[in-house]
Amino acid sequence: MSRILTVAAAQLGPVARSHPRSQVVGRMLSMMEQARGNGVGLIVFPELALTTFFPRWYMEDQAAIDAFFEREMPSNETRPLFEAAARFGMGFYLGYAELTPEGRHFNTSILVDRSGRIVGKYRKIHLPGHAEHEPWRAFQHLEKRYFEVGNLGWGVWRTLGGNFGMAICNDRRWPETYRVMGLQDVEMVLLGYNTPWHNPPAPDHDRLSEFHNQLSMQGGAYANATWVVGTAKCGEEEGCKLLGNSSIIAPTGEVVARALTEDDELVIARCDLDLGLSYKKSTFNFARHRQPDQYQMIVERTGAEPPAA
Binding residues for ligand CDT, rule: CB under 6 A, are: 47, 128, 169-170, 173, 193-195, 199
**Beta-carbon neighbour count of residue 203 at 10 Å?**
10
Cβ–Cβ < 8 Å for 271, 248: yes
From the list 178, 223, 180, 214, the residue with the least C-alpha distance to 195 is: 214
From the list 220, 227, 214, 229, the residue with the least C-alpha distance to 277 is: 227
Kindly tell me which of 88 and 193 has the beta carbon lying closer to ligand CDT: 193
Catalytic residue among 70, 98, 124, 237: 124
Cβ–Cβ < 8 Å for 267, 8: yes
Minimum CB separation of residue 283 from ligand CDT in Å reads 28
Backbone angles phi, psi at 179, to 5 degrees: -65, -40
What is the chain's Cα-based Rg?
Answer: 19
Minimum CB separation of residue 95 from ligand CDT in Å reads 9
Catalytic residue among 70, 98, 143, 169: 169
Minimum CB separation of residue 93 from ligand CDT in Å reads 15
Minimum CB separation of residue 64 from ligand CDT in Å reads 20
Kindly tell me which of 187 and 237 has the beta carbon lying closer to ligand CDT: 237
3-state secondary structure 139-179: CCCCHHHHCCCCCCCCCEEEECCEEEEEEEHHHHHCHHHHH
Report the C-alpha gap between 91 and 128 in whole angstroms. Answer: 28
234 included as an active-site residue: no
47 included as an active-site residue: yes
Kindly tell me which of 46 and 162 has the beta carbon lying closer to ligand CDT: 46
Cα distances (Å, whole numbers) of residue 240 to 23, 35, 236: 20, 29, 5
Strands 42-44 and 91-99, bridge-based pairing: parallel
Kindly tell me which of 170 and 218 has the beta carbon lying closer to ligand CDT: 170
Minimum CB separation of residue 198 from ligand CDT in Å reads 9
Residue 4, burial from CB neighbour count under 10 angstroms (0-12, 13-18, 19+)? middle
Minimum CB separation of residue 11 from ligand CDT in Å reads 15
Kindly tell me which of 19 and 144 has the beta carbon lying closer to ligand CDT: 144
Catalytic residue among 47, 98, 187, 237: 47
Kindly tell me which of 20 and 203 has the beta carbon lying closer to ligand CDT: 203
Report the C-alpha gap between 223 and 197 in whole angstroms. Answer: 26
124 included as an active-site residue: yes
Catalytic residues: 47, 124, 169
